[in-house]
Chains A and B, each alone.
Chain A
Amino acid sequence: MSKTICVKVLRQETPHDGSHWESFDVPYEEGMNVTTVLQRIAAHPVTTENEKSTPVAYDACCLEEVCGACTMVINGQVRQACSALVDNLLEDSASGIELRPMSKFPVVRDLLVNRKKMFDDLKRVKAWIHVDGYHDLGPGPRVLPQVQEEAYPLARCMTCGCCVEACPQFNDRSPFIGPAVISQAILFNMHPTGKVDRDERLEVLSGPGGITDCGNSQNCVKVCPKEIPLTDSIAKAGRDTTLYKLRRWFGR
């Protein structure tokens, strides 16, 4: 039972270097995921050609698909390494596992990319609730369960980047802010207190890189690991920005 898995990794030493493929034969273990594969390579970084290499750099934190850190492209599909089970991957592709960094963000090293742009864009759309302060001022607004059930799925966005990786409109030549950030703007516009900044968010969504840059390919919603209804958020953003512009034209 000394089965090994062939793992191909697209490596890049620094942001300024070119990339190259490296393969590793990793002993199979029952129930292992891609994170374990990377941990085993780290402990024994020797390539298939029996050459000494280095541990593969990658992001990882919670390993239970709630932090969003370990997002990468696994056998051509963007997803989290922790929830990518080797058995399932081999079922679909017996030849082995291929790991690449996400292509929409600058590579720092190997599979580790810098997703700072997404966090910066959250600032642009004021993705927060502006409160009077942190003193005791009583409870928040009453919220009907139907409203909570609409908000909670959007609130589960981990800023992992899967949606923008799959989005044809999001790239370094376009200012498009992408589905995740649009959906967050909608989340905060839904909130009874968050609504206060609604127009400022809609202003950003109406501007360059905003909602009109969406090409409606609907890839985002298919790859979202948390099954967030991103296209619903985008549709809502489309309607809301239109109304916002009308309101602005009529000067109110």
Chain B
Amino acid sequence: MAGKQHVVVVGGGLAGLAAVMKLAEQGIHVYLISMVPVKRSHSVCAQGGINSVNPLTRQQGDTEWKHLDDTVYGGDFLQHQPPVKEMCDWGPRIIDLLDRLGVPFNRTPEGFRDQRRFGGTLYKRTAFAGATTGQQMLYSLDEQVRHWESQGLVEKFEYWEFLGPILDDQGHCRGVVAQDMFSMEIRPFAADAVILATGGNGLVFGRSTMSMICTGGAAARAYRAGVIHANGEFVQVHPTAIPGTDKLRLMSESARGEGGRVWVPRKPQDDRDPRQVPASERYYFLEERYPKYGNLVPRDIATREIFDVCVNHGLSIEKDRLCVYLDVTELPHDAQKKLEGILEIYEKFQGVDPRVTPMKIFPAVHYSMGGLWVDYEKNSKTGGLVLGSPRNHHSNVPGIFVIGEADYQYHGANRLGANSLLSCVFSGLVVAPAVENWLKSLKHGKASEQPVSLFDRAVEPHQRRMKELMENQGDENPYHLHQELGDWMTRNVTVVRYNKDLKSTVDKIDELADRYKNVNLSDKSNWTNQNLSFTRAVGDMILLARVIAEGALKRDECRGVHYKPEQDIPAPDADDPAGLREQARTWCKRFREKNENWLKTTMAKYTPDGPEFSYEDVDTDLIRPRPRTYGLKGAEMIEEVWKEMNGEPAAVKKERPLAVGVTKA
């Protein structure tokens, strides 16, 4: 096959599979490398659905532009807007494609796709397949890729682990080194482009809602090889999960989208059966505080409000941890049926029927907004992307592209529910023509024409490293190191962050990195050694933890999920209107200053002495940043003053979306 060009895709979740099928359609040969059979990738855990403007919302006044606005407002304006605009524009087409591929989306009585509402929007944009939408989408793409595999365009390497990219003397990527997780063979894969679609890094926090493979190991290995890591400190903590001894299981936002309500008893640690607590003694705190969005405020806000209610007001249902009720008991039968997939999970793992008794739920680390840095080419006419530009999703290392949760591009400081499935499929589809044009532009020879020595040289350090780990005689247990790391990260680098604690966490991570040198494997065998694979990932998690914690320490502001009480701008609270207005003016001035200083992407570059940080301005040309209040009761004055200060007509009455069939008078 001399002369033929190959692409390596690492990771077979939604993003990876979307890229593979599109590349194959373009006639490009792909090696697909995955630690698990791709059908078992973490995308199966996505429950609630996928967002896009649809015929119904459109008639209520919705547009792609509003989807863009919701997404960047939800992300606290930290994302570059051109890629987000392009993604929102593609939304309807992506749903149509998935529909054609056989995703069994729920249907209306007439046979159209049904939609539900999700957090951070007032429209029912979310198409869904029961409460296992991610699983169903992954399966449909898996089937497409299996089709291409049967035609010889895709070669799968399942149970293979990515160890690192192969870079030539000019720093161009020429392939990857990977290890067979059964035979432990380490070998190079020559490739003219490499796409990393390796997901998030929830395991850095010990237990999270993420799957066992979401260590961030692959991203860390790319980072170590020179790929810049961006916005690592932005880690989403989902408000509603159930704790387990091995992982934290997600209870989808769709429970609230279908009408589920979050509450606590007004009496602290009320020990009555929740069903016996009368409505007047229930505190529906999200509905009371955010009358406009209610239970569907974005996740960062819901989580922070749970923290506030539980910690500052002492109303947690369980004394030592954050716990509130998520109540779907009053939903009609057909709404409960649409949630079957998650209600089953609750029942199976908690032994309580959530259709009858309100669920006890807890916040849990859920999604990495940050990830490997990637570029894009802006289309100045549309405000979106130049399609097919090899700059799209290209990292700073030539030849390495990054997509899906592994990249940092779409969700800014907080991701909206049901936008991740969209960003995964979109980034997979959009990277394929970018890679095709990159392959055409390669002037420095094909990977298959590179000297063999380049590939041999690339394998050697990984073999040496494996040998070192196997022969190490220290006294550190990798599982305990991981647990310690997770405990520190969860305690200090999640919902509420203090610089003092972040500083001590950074020091702790350095200590763990030191102790990691003395790690001792309990399994030294050369066949299917999972102990080795895990231990290697622990080293990677320590590396990423440092990027996350130090990024958080350095960023002295509040934005999206990144909340530092010490940097919070106090909300106006004066009783008299003039005083309130004055306070709101001060608030808005400080808000503007904060954006001047911090409306920037965090960029971390690997050095052996720790990450080197720099900051890049964010492209907010399409939609100017504004205070993110979500109609919080008491924050009306901020919105009013902000509009005045920015020359917008004050107090224009917002029009409500028109119902179908209603025309303007």
Q: Does B22 reach chain A (CB closer than 8 Å)?
A: yes
A148 touches which of B106, B212, B429 (Cβ 8 Å): B106
- Contacting residues of chain B (175-215) with chain A, CB-CB under 8 angstroms: 182, 211-213
Binds A, one of B2-10, B135-143, B651-659: B135-143
Residues from chain A with Cβ under 8 Å of B40 in the complex: 61-62, 67-69, 158
Instruction: Kindly report which residue of chain A lies nearest to residue B530, judged by CB atoms.
Output: A57
Partner of A66, one of B22, B44, B429, B530: B44
Tell me whether B479 and A43 are in contact (CB under 8 A).
Answer: yes
Is A243 on the interface with B (CB-CB < 8 A)? no
Q: A115–B41 Cα gap in the complex (Å)?
A: 15
Question: CB distance B107 to A122 under 8 Å?
Answer: no
Task: Give the distance to chain B from A215, nearest Cβ to Cβ, in Å.
Answer: 27
A245 close to chain B: CB less than 8 A: no
Task: Bin the interface of chain A by size.
Answer: 35 or more
Question: Among B62-70, B242-250, B540-548, which stretch is in contact with chain A?
Answer: B242-250
Q: Could you say which of A108, A139, A144, A159 contacts B99, with CB atoms under 8 Å apart?
A: A139
- Kindly identify which residue among A59, A60, A155 contacts B139, using a CB–CB cutoff of 8 Å: A155
A140 and B104 CA atoms in complex are apart in Å by: 11
Q: Answer whether A52 and B111 are a contact pair too, CB < 8 Å, given A148-B105, A151-B104.
A: no
The CA-CA distance from A147 to B247 in the complex, in Å, is: 35
* CA–CA, A54 and B520, complex, Å: 12
CB within 8 Å for A119 and B212 given contacts A13-B527, A129-B101? no
Identify which of B100, B150, B211 gathers the most chain A CB atoms within 10 Å of its CB: B100
User: Given that A42-B531, A52-B522, A83-B349 are contacting pairs, would A143 and B111 also be in contact in the complex, using a CB cutoff of 8 Å?
Assistant: yes
Asked if A152 and B147 sit within 8 Å, CB to CB, the answer is no
Measured between beta carbons, the chain A residues less than 8 angstroms from B97 are 134, 136
Closest Cβ of chain A to B624, distance in Å, is 31
Write the A172-203 contact mask toward B (1 if CB under 8 angstroms, else 0): 00000000000000001001011000000000
Range of interface residues on B (Cβ < 8 Å): 35 or more
> A39 contacts B479, CB within 8 Å?
yes
Q: Is A18 an interface residue (CB 8 A)?
A: no
For residue B642, give the distance in angstroms from its CB to the closest CB of chain A.
39
Tell me the minimal C-beta distance from B616 to chain A in angstroms.
Answer: 32
A143 touching B143, Cβ below 8 Å: no
B132 at the interface (CB under 8 A from A): yes
Which residues of the other chain, A, contact B246 by a CB distance below 8 angstroms?
Answer: 32-33, 35-36, 39, 63, 82
B104 touches A155 (CB 8 A): yes
Task: List, in ascending order, chain B residues with CB within 8 A of A59's CB.
Answer: 36
Which of B100, B111, B247, B527 is within 8 Å of A145, CB to CB? B111
Cβ of B275 < 8 Å from any Cβ of A? Answer: no
State whether B135 touches A112 (Cβ < 8 A): no
In B115-164, the 8 Å CB interface with A consists of 129-130, 132, 135-136, 139-140, 143-144, 146-147, 149-150
How far does the Cβ of A133 sit from chain B's closest Cβ, in whole Å?
A: 6
Contact B150 A123 (CB under 8 A): yes
A143 to B143, CA, bound (A): 20
A208 contact set on B, CB distance < 8 A: none
User: Interface of chain A, helix or strand or loop or mixed?
Assistant: loop
Chain B residues with CB under 8 Å of A4's CB are none
A61 adjacent to B144 (CB under 8 Å): no
Q: How far is the CA of A40 from the CA of B45 in the complex (A)?
A: 24
Task: Report chain B residues within 8 Å CB of A39.
Answer: 246, 479
A65 at the interface (CB under 8 A from B): yes
**A191 touching B25, Cβ below 8 Å:** no
User: Which residues of the partner chain B approach A62 to less than 8 Å between Cβ atoms?
Assistant: 40, 42, 44-45, 211-212
Residues of B within 8 A of A232 (CB): none
A192 to chain B, nearest CB (A): 9
Q: Is the CB of B211 within 8 A of A63?
A: yes
| A residues less than 8 Å from B250 (CB atoms) | 64
Name the distance in Å between A156's Cβ and chain B's nearest Cβ.
7
Partner of B107, one of A30, A115, A145: A145
- Which residues from B are CB-within-8-Å of A147? 107
Residues of chain B in range 75-94 having any CB-CB distance to chain A below 8 Å: 93
The answer on a CB contact under 8 Å between A29 and B96 is no
Interface residue B108 (Cβ < 8 Å from any Cβ of A):
yes
Chain B residues whose CB sits within 8 angstroms of the CB of A55 once the complex forms: 522-523, 530-531
Min CB gap A236→B, angstroms: 17
CB distance from A239 to the nearest CB of B (A): 22
Q: Does A97 contact B (CB under 8 A)?
A: no
**Does B525 belong to the interface (CB within 8 Å)?**
yes
The answer to whether B102 has its CB under 8 Å from any CB of chain A is yes
Q: Closest CB-CB distance, B22 to chain A, in whole Å?
A: 6
Q: Does A31 contact B (CB under 8 A)?
A: yes
- CB-CB under 8 A from B104, the residues of chain A are 143, 148, 151-152, 155
Alpha-carbon gap, A119 to B171, bound state (A): 38
| Distance in Å: Cβ of A196 to nearest Cβ of chain B | 12
Given contacts A55-B522, A57-B528, A134-B97, whether A142 and B45 have CB atoms under 8 Å apart is no
B637 within 8 A of A: no
A77-121, CB < 8 A from B? 82-83, 85, 108-109, 112, 115, 119
Report if A127-B101 is in contact (Cβ < 8 Å); known contacts: A45-B522, A54-B531.
Answer: no
Cβ of A137 under 8 Å from chain B? yes
The answer to whether the Cβ of B348 comes within 8 Å of any Cβ in the partner chain is: yes
B21 interface residue per 8 A CB criterion: yes
- Would you call B27 an interface residue if the criterion is a C-beta within 8 Å of the partner chain's C-beta atoms? no
Q: Chain B's nearest CB lies how many Å from the CB of A187?
A: 9
Instruction: Tell me the bound Cα distance from A123 to B106 in angstroms.
Output: 27
From B129, B143, B531, give the contact of A128 (CB < 8 A): B143
Chain A residue contacts of B101, Cβ below 8 A: 129, 131, 140
Any chain A CB within 8 A of the CB of B37?
A: yes
Q: Does B345 contact A (CB under 8 A)?
A: yes
Chain A residues contacting B144 (CB-CB under 8 Å) are 128-129, 131
Query: Would B37 and A119 count as touching, CB distance under 8 A?
Result: yes
The CA-CA distance from A140 to B96 in the complex, in Å, is 6
Are the C-beta atoms of B45 and A144 separated by less than 8 Å?
A: no
- Give chain B nearest CB distance to A117 CB in angstroms: 12
- Asked if B109 and A145 sit within 8 Å, CB to CB, the answer is yes
With CB as the reference atom, state the residue of chain B lying closest to A130.
B147
Q: Does B480 make an interface contact (CB < 8 A)?
A: yes
User: What's the least CB distance linking A146 to chain B, in Å?
Assistant: 9
Asked if B477 is at the interface of the complex by the 8 Å CB criterion, the answer is yes
Residues of B within 8 A of A42 (CB): 479, 522, 530-531, 534
Which residues of chain B come closer than 8 Å to A61, judged between CB atoms? Answer: 36, 40-42, 211-213
In the bound assembly, the distance between CA atoms of A53 and B135 in angstroms comes to 36
Residues 218-233 of A at the B interface (beta carbon under 8 Å): none
Give the distance to chain A from B635, nearest Cβ to Cβ, in Å.
37
A119 touches B39 (CB 8 A): yes
A69 to chain B, nearest CB (A): 5
In the bound complex, how far is the Cα of B99 from the Cα of A147, in angstroms? 14
Let me know if A216 is at the binding interface, CB within 8 A: no
Which residue from A64, A128, A151 sits with its C-beta under 8 Å from B147?
Answer: A128
In the complex, the chain A residue whose C-beta lies closest to that of B531 is A55
Chain B window 251-291, contacts with chain A (Cβ cutoff 8 Å), 1 for yes, 0 for no:
00000000000000000000000000000000000000000
Q: When A and B form their complex, which 6 residue pairs have the shortest distance between CB atoms, in order from nearest?
A: A43-B479, A140-B99, A128-B143, A54-B523, A142-B111, A109-B528
Residues of chain B having any CB pair with chain A under 8 Å: 21-22, 25, 36-37, 39-42, 44-45, 93, 95-97, 99-102, 104-113, 129-130, 132, 135-136, 139-140, 143-144, 146-147, 149-150, 182, 211-213, 244-247, 249-250, 341, 345, 348-349, 351, 429, 477, 479-480, 522-523, 525, 527-528, 530-531, 534
Given contacts A67-B45, A123-B149, 15 further A-B contacts (CB under 8 A): A32-B246, A42-B531, A42-B534, A45-B523, A57-B528, A61-B41, A62-B42, A63-B211, A66-B135, A67-B211, A85-B351, A145-B107, A145-B108, A148-B104, A152-B136
